[in-house]
Amino acid sequence: MDNHDEHLSKAFRKPRRVTITIPYATYLVLERRSYEQGRSLSNLSAHLLECAVSETPSPQSLQSLGPTRVSMDGHHSR
């Protein structure tokens, strides 16, 4: 294993904290879905990111990415 691969291997062992800025409408959708799934907002976000970068996303994560509309007053509809 070369030095780069060894570094990547170790990097996946310890979770890393990141900060992102998202549109308010996206925040509202994530907040609602986290409540519906009984997850923290952070846990749901991490799960969706993991599924997005993996080759085989879980069926549940794909279903949760289904179309959702957020009106200007923040209400959700499918």
CA dihedral 63, 69, 75, 78 (to 10 degrees): -50
CA distance linking residue 74 with residue 76, whole number of Å: 7
Whole-structure pTM value: 0.55
One digit per residue, the tens of pLDDT, for the chain of length 78 reads 566 666 666 656 788 899 999 999 999 999 999 999 999 999 999 999 999 998 665 666 666 656 555 555 555 454
The number of distinct structural domains making up the chain is 1
Residue-range definition of the domain harbouring residue 52: 3-77
Given this model, what pLDDT does residue 78 score?
46
Torsional sign, CA 24, 48, 35, 32: positive
